[in-house]
Structures are given as structure tokens and as C-alpha cells.
A and B are shown apart, each in its own frame.
Chain A
Amino acid sequence: MPDDQTARDREITVSRLIAAGRPAVFRAFTEARHLDRWWGPNGFSNTTHSFEFRAGGSWSFTMHGPDGTDYPNHIEWLAVEPPERIELRHGEKPNDPDAFVSTVLFEEAEGGTRVTLRTVFPTREQRDRAVADFHAIEGGQQTLDSLAAYVAAEISEEERS
């Protein structure tokens, strides 16, 4: 199996064109009072316990799910390069062996800023575990029926366009 295939098995990349200027998008990462307002899926809120935004610094916070579940989070900032790049290690607690490293790129683009988060997990198993954990955060536990509905929605979306 070629290397790129193996890497693809271990990585997840999410990208979005954000209709705002790069300085503002980057700034939304730089202070806890900003991050608390947008970090996490719809319906989530955050409480920051400590925050230091510099390479080697960390952000300790609790994510509150819409159903009242609390999720401990600990992020170490590995690289902070305004306004174009942030590298972070994301876990539940300091020195979490299951923490994984993500790189966030901020690129000026037509219509705003392209933000790309790329996460490469050390192993495929670790990726699968993180995916399953985040799936649980999303209120997952979806039945195969709703899975099929998801695929169907994707397809009708495609047929409309």
C-alpha cells in the first residue's frame, strides 16, 4: 500500500471559506473570550479555566453539550504564527496519550478567508477512536436507518443541483 494511501487512512481535513477578513478570523482564536463563543458544534458552549495563547501555552476548558453533558478539554498551542497558521495538540487533559495534533491554516481567498484544519492521527486506530468519540459528542448513536437517510439526503441534494 503506498504511503499516501496510508496517510489518508489516518488524517481528516476540514476546510471552509469564511466570509470575513483574515485578521478577524485569526483573532477569533487568540483570546478565550472569543473562542468560548464559537468553539464546538451548534448548541455547545464553553467555560475556560486557563488560557495562554503562545507556542508552548495551553487552553484548558470545559465544553457543555446541549444535553448538559460536560466534556473536559485541554489544548496545547504548538505553533502560533499570525495571521496564517496555528498548530495545536487537542486532548482531554494535560499529557493526554490520546491527544492528536491539528494544523489550522488561514489563507486569504476571494470572498474571505479559507480556513483548513488538517489532523493526522498517529495510527488509524487512534483516528477511528477519535472519530467515534466525537461522534458521541455529536449525540451520535444513530441507527443505521438514519444513516441511510443521511445518504439519501446527500443524493437528493445532488440531484437538485
Chain B
Amino acid sequence: MPPTATTTDAFTAIAEPQRRRILTLLKTSEMPVNDIAHVLGIRQPSVSKHLGVLKQVGLVYSRPHGKQRIYGLDATALRAVHEWTGGFAQFWQESFERLERYAQQLEDEENPNA
């Protein structure tokens, strides 16, 4: 599966579980490709492909470090994802949880012996 073909933004980029593992790892510190591959147990070419996608959508940055490149988490691109999930959707998810408890209470009031 070519990872770049369908990836257009941060949302689709983080839909891939391995990429989320890479992001979590990069949260702790910047790292070269080899280290990421080693820590996560993913083959290096695969890590490079994922990093390419993540870089393309602005979720990671890279900088030269000696003969290799170091990768790090660029959380600004995640802000859109976070606001999306943390704002409006969160509002409704929590409302629906409360709705569930309330609807159950309504049913109990109707059928006190059930």
C-alpha cells in the first residue's frame, strides 16, 4: 500500500497506527530513523516511508545532524486534530453519555418494577 497516495492531511496521516506510534515516540525526543526503527521494531524503509508522510502533512520536522537526519514531533499540525476531537465532538460525546444515564433513569421511572 503506497502511504502517500491517499494522505492529504493530518487526519488521514494519523489514521495509520504505526504512524501514531512514531509520533508518540518522537514526543519524548528527537531521533534518527535507525533509532525509531529499533525502538518500535519496524523495518527502517517502512519507518522512512511513514516519516515522509508525516513530514508532508507537517506532523514531523527533520534537521541534519552530522551524516544523518534527526526527526521530531511538530505538534502544531496536530492542533487541528485536537481541536476537532477535543472540542465539538467531545461536547457531544459527553452529552451522549449523560443522555444515556438520563434515558435509563426515565425508563426506570416508567417501570419501577422492571
Contacts and interface: CB of A to CB of B under 8 A. Distances in A.
Interface of A: 5, 12, 14, 16, 18-21, 24-25, 27-28, 34, 37-42, 113, 115, 117, 119, 128, 130-138, 140, 142, 144, 147-148, 150-152, 154-155, 158
A20 B94 CA distance: 16
A12 B89 contact: yes
A138 B106 contact: no
Given A28-B106, A147-B82, A117 B92 contact: yes
Interface string B37-76: 0000000000000000000000000000000000001011
Interface in B73-113: 73, 75-76, 78-80, 82-84, 86-104, 106-107, 110
Task: Point out which of B73, B90, B102 has the most chain A C-beta atoms below 10 A from its C-beta.
Answer: B102
A134 B87 contact: yes
B76 to A, nearest CB: 7
B24 interface: yes
B83 A151 contact: no
B106 A38 contact: no
Contact of A147 (B75, B92, B95, B103): B75
Given A152-B24, A154-B20, A14 B93 contact: yes
